[in-house]
């Protein structure tokens, strides 16, 4: 009998079927290329697509946005908890705790039907930006800005963070990043969510686990390292080239480059790069873009590694003057749509996810009485 095939990190292993997303021939959501979604739809429309299966009509979008606006509120005890968390609590940790806590206040928490899971998903989509913004202010001893009922998802989030209306260019750039971050097949956090859901656990539990997976720097945390890299690389092309070559010689990992699935480049990075550069021009920080360009060229030439989405996203958020600890929570604010869509799909046709392991320990042996052990 032949030994089972083992693939470290499950690389290349088909672990399930999905109708939500494909990375073959370029990233697409439910059959729509992400480039077309960026060009012809908003994040709100893309969120509807992921949760409901089709792009919305104008009346469907209006009704969806009305439901989201009505759900942009947190139970008062959760705001009290956010205010009481230690000052060392990161925004992503606060979000993870909050999603778990929100389950206790959701009237559909224990209803596993498709329609109830969609309702819960919509509420979490609306609540997560409020959690991020409220924690931002409460952790500083400030007063959160109430959510706006008249703004779409991205614009409302920027308003809650700043208390002033964002510019159309800022809203468009953030929306593009949210569309691109929304879904990505069986990535680590999504797969974690599906494994949890496969036990017939609930949506909030699955999303809480997904946020835990997102925290790692090999997944969601990478976008928070981009500005550190660019700052360390220096302010000139010569300094940047020397820095990255020295880092490669030391075998350091350059965050924001390479991808388990994309070997010749991440289409999402190419799309968002344009918006990162425009934001940098508006902010007067174009120097970082020029340093980034040098690093990209060296990485391609020396390692055949290309930027992933985190590379331009970190630069975009920096140019928008968003604080670095918010970058990964913003990722979660978008990816909740993909996570929820996968949890719903898993529960609609469930089979417990229980892989096998290739045992590499000692051969079978007898237990010796304690007095005879050496």
What does the DSSP assignment read for 204-252?
Answer: HHHHHHHHHHHTSTTTGGGGGGHHHHHHHH-SSHHHHHHHHHHHHHTT-
Active-site residue, 310 included: yes
Helices within the chain (DSSP H only): 34-40, 43-52, 58-70, 76-84, 91-102, 114-138, 153-162, 168-181, 188-198, 203-214, 226-233, 237-249, 267-283, 286-303, 310-319, 327-348
Active-site residue, 259 included: yes
Q: How many CB atoms lie within 10 A of CB 124?
A: 22
d(CA 298, CA 248): 10
Q: How many CB atoms lie within 10 A of CB 263?
A: 11
CA dihedral of 271, 220, 323, 298, whole degrees rounded to 10: -60
d(CA 60, CA 256): 37
Backbone angles phi, psi at 134, to 5 degrees: -65, -45
User: What does the longest C-alpha to C-alpha distance in the chain come to?
Assistant: 78
Residues 124, 193: contact at Cβ < 8 Å? Answer: no
d(CA 145, CA 153): 15
Q: Which structure tokens are listed for 279?
A: 């934001």
Q: Which structure tokens are listed for 87?
A: 């000052």
Which of 106, 310, 318, 342 is an active site residue? 310
d(CA 132, CA 247): 34
d(CA 90, CA 78): 16
Residues 69, 105: contact at Cβ < 8 Å? Answer: no
Which of 259, 306, 318, 342 is an active site residue? 259
Q: Hey, which residues are catalytic here?
A: 259, 310
């Amino acid at each position: 009998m032949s030994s089972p095939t083992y693939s470290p990190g499950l690389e290349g292993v088909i672990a399930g079927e999905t109708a939500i997303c494909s990375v073959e021939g370029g990233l697409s959501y439910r059959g729509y290329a992400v480039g077309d979604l960026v060009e012809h739809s908003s994040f709100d429309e893309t969120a509807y697509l992921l949760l409901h299966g089709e792009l919305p009509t104008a009346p469907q979008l209006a009704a969806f946005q009305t439901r989201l606006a009505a759900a942009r509120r947190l139970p008062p005890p959760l705001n009290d908890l956010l205010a009481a968390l230690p000052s060392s609590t990161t925004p992503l940790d606060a979000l993870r705790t909050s999603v778990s806590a929100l389950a206790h206040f959701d009237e559909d928490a224990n209803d596993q039907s498709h329609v109830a899971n969609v309702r819960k998903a919509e509420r979490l989509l609306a609540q997560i930006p409020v959690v991020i913004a409220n924690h931002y202010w409460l952790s500083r001893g400030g007063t959160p800005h109430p959510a706006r009922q008249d703004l779409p998802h991205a614009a409302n989030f920027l308003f809650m963070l700043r208390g002033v209306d964002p510019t159309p260019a800022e809203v468009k750039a953030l929306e593009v990043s949210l569309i691109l971050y929304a879904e990505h097949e069986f990535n680590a956090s999504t797969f974690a969510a599906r494994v949890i859901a496969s036990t017939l656990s609930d949506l909030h539990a699955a999303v809480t686990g997904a946020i835990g997976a997102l925290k790692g720097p090999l997944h969601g945390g990478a976008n928070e390292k981009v500005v550190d890299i660019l700052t360390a690389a220096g302010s000139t092309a010569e300094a940047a080239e020397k820095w990255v070559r020295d880092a490669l010689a030391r075998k350091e990992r350059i965050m924001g480059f390479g991808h388990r699935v994309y070997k010749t480049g991440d289409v999402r990075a190419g799309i968002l790069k344009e918006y990162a550069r425009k934001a940098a021009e508006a902010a007067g920080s174009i120097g970082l873009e020029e340093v980034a360009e040098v690093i990209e060229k060296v990485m391609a030439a020396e390692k055949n590694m290309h930027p992933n989405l985190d590379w331009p996203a970190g630069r975009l958020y920096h140019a928008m003057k968003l604080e670095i600890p918010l970058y990964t929570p913003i990722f979660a604010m978008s990816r909740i749509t993909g996570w929820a869509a996968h949890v719903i799909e898993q529960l609609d046709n469930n089979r417990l996810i229980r892989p096998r392991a290739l045992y590499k320990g000692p051969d079978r042996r007898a237990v010796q009485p304690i007095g005879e052990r050496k």
